[in-house]
């Protein structure tokens, strides 16, 4: 059973198609990163899944259910817009009110613990109107997880928070995953997504351009890997043999005094190179594989028009 599954999910506003036939499957227990520039259709896609708007076409299931009833809604957490908070309410009362409205029991000790988890310890009784943007973001995450949901939607969970708080939120997201929960998150912090997400999708103009694990995304972006090997100088007695060996693996090799740069299509050739050099009595100090970052992949995929992508 998938935590999220969509089939040709589409949203139109008049003649404008904002989400165009999205097919997506998110397994339970994943931290799924959903990326795209402003206007790509991310928020519209999430709004359909969370019941804010209705699809124009297609269908979806959450936690195996297509009928989004009250019982299913209790299993779903959503990071709310901070503008929906009540300035005169305290952080603790916000969680109490949210739980009561959704039919959950309220425990002051439990809610205080949730606020502690998101970094709001000591602010339980402070009115939200005096909160900074970052504190409101933390309260929103607390509201998203307070009912112990199985599926959690987090829209920009670390925007507006300081670096230490962002790292704390990363730890919390991993902890939630370890508990078996599924997190579907958007973020403009590509380094964050690269570090914590199990799979990533990049959306543009209402369609998904590329999707997969970071390893799969890197392979689709760049089939060849650049490998830099730092080593002792090659002895004259072995130079010709070593160069012949490298030619069997790649036509693109650069030889320097104490390092060799080679382009490889097959990652499994890296240990072959290491073993061969060691057998020739050459000490190896460092092996570095240059791989594209998520930022490079994102920029490249947002330059290419989706109509040109198969």
CATH code of the domain in which 110 resides: 3.40.50.300
Look at residue 90 and tell me if it is in a domain: yes
The span from the CA of 259 to the CA of 232, in Å, is: 8
The answer on 200 and 243 residing in a single domain is no
Look at residue 214 and tell me if it is in a domain: yes
Read off the pLDDT band of 68 (50, 70, 90): confident
* 285 Cβ neighbours under 8 A, 6+ residues apart: 230, 231
Provide the mean pLDDT of the chain.
90
CATH code of the domain in which 285 resides: 3.30.70.240
The span from the CA of 5 to the CA of 27, in Å, is: 9
The answer on 213 and 235 residing in a single domain is no
The answer on 73 and 199 residing in a single domain is yes
The span from the CA of 125 to the CA of 108, in Å, is: 11
Give me 57's structure tokens: 């076409």
* 163 Cβ neighbours under 8 A, 6+ residues apart: none
Give residue 263's domain range. Answer: 223-290
Look at residue 297 and tell me if it is in a domain: no
The span from the CA of 281 to the CA of 182, in Å, is: 50
The answer on 209 and 167 residing in a single domain is yes
Segment 254-281, tens digit of pLDDT: 999 999 999 888 888 999 999 999 999 9
Q: Are 201 and 185 in contact (CB under 8 A)?
A: no
Res 223: pLDDT: 64
Mean pLDDT of 295-306: 65
CA distances from 14 to 20, 56, 148, 288 (A): 14, 10, 38, 52
Res 302: pLDDT: 63
Q: Which of 55-64, 100-109, 153-162, 268-277 has the lowest average pLDDT?
A: 100-109
Residue 309 has pLDDT above 60, yes or no: no
Residue 90 has pLDDT above 80, yes or no: yes
DSSP 187-215: -S-HHHHHHH-SEEEEEETTEEEEEE-HH
The answer on 202 and 241 residing in a single domain is no
The answer on 76 and 143 residing in a single domain is yes
The answer on 204 and 65 residing in a single domain is yes
Segment 181-202, tens digit of pLDDT: 999 999 888 889 989 999 999 9
Distance of CA 33 to the CA centre of its chain: 3
The answer on 247 and 117 residing in a single domain is no
Look at residue 240 and tell me if it is in a domain: yes
72 three-state secondary structure: helix
Read off the pLDDT band of 306 (50, 70, 90): very low
Read off the pLDDT band of 301 (50, 70, 90): low
The answer on 179 and 108 residing in a single domain is yes
The answer on 228 and 104 residing in a single domain is no
Q: Are 104 and 147 in contact (CB under 8 A)?
A: yes
Segment 111-137, tens digit of pLDDT: 999 999 999 999 999 999 999 999 999
Mean pLDDT of 43-51: 92
The answer on 200 and 181 residing in a single domain is yes
Mean pLDDT of 41-66: 93
Look at residue 309 and tell me if it is in a domain: no
Give me 36's structure tokens: 């795209």
Look at residue 7 and tell me if it is in a domain: yes
Number of domains in the chain: 2
Task: Give the position of tokens 């694990």.
Answer: 213
Dihedrals phi, psi of 238, to nearest 5 degrees: -115, -5
The answer on 239 and 205 residing in a single domain is no
């Amino acid at each position: 059973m998938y935590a999220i599954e969509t089939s040709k999910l589409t949203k139109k506003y008049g003649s404008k198609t904002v989400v165009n036939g999205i097919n997506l499957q998110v397994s339970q227990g994943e931290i799924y990163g959903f990326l795209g520039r402003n206007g790509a259709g991310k928020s519209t896609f999430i709004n359909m899944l969370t019941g804010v708007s209705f699809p124009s076409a297609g269908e979806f299931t959450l936690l195996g259910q297509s009928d989004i009833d009250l019982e299913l809604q209790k299993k779903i957490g959503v990071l709310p817009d901070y503008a929906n908070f009540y300035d005169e309410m305290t952080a603790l009362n916000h969680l109490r009110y949210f739980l009561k409205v959704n039919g959950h029991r309220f425990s002051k000790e439990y809610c205080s613990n949730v606020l502690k988890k998101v970094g709001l310890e000591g602010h339980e009784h402070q009115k939200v109107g005096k909160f900074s943007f970052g504190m409101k973001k933390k309260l929103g995450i607390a509201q998203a997880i307070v009912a112990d949901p199985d599926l959690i939607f987090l829209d920009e969970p670390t925007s507006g928070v300081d670096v230490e708080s962002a790292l704390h939120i990363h730890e919390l997201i991993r902890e939630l995953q370890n508990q078996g929960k599924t997190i579907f998150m958007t973020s403009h912090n590509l380094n964050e997504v690269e570090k914590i997400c199990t799979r990533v999708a990049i959306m543009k103009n209402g369609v998904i351009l590329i999707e997969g694990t970071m390893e799969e995304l890197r392979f689709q972006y760049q089939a060849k890997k650049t490998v830099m090997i730092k080593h002792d100088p090659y002895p004259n007695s072995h130079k010709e043999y070593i160069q012949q060996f490298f030619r069997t693996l790649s036509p693109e090799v650069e030889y320097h005094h104490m390092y060799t740069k080679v382009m490889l299509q097959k990652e499994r050739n890296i240990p072959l190179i290491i073993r061969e050099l060691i057998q020739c009595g050459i000490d190896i100090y460092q092996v570095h594989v240059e791989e594209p970052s998520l930022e490079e992949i994102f920029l490249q995929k947002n330059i290419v028009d989706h109509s040109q992508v198969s």
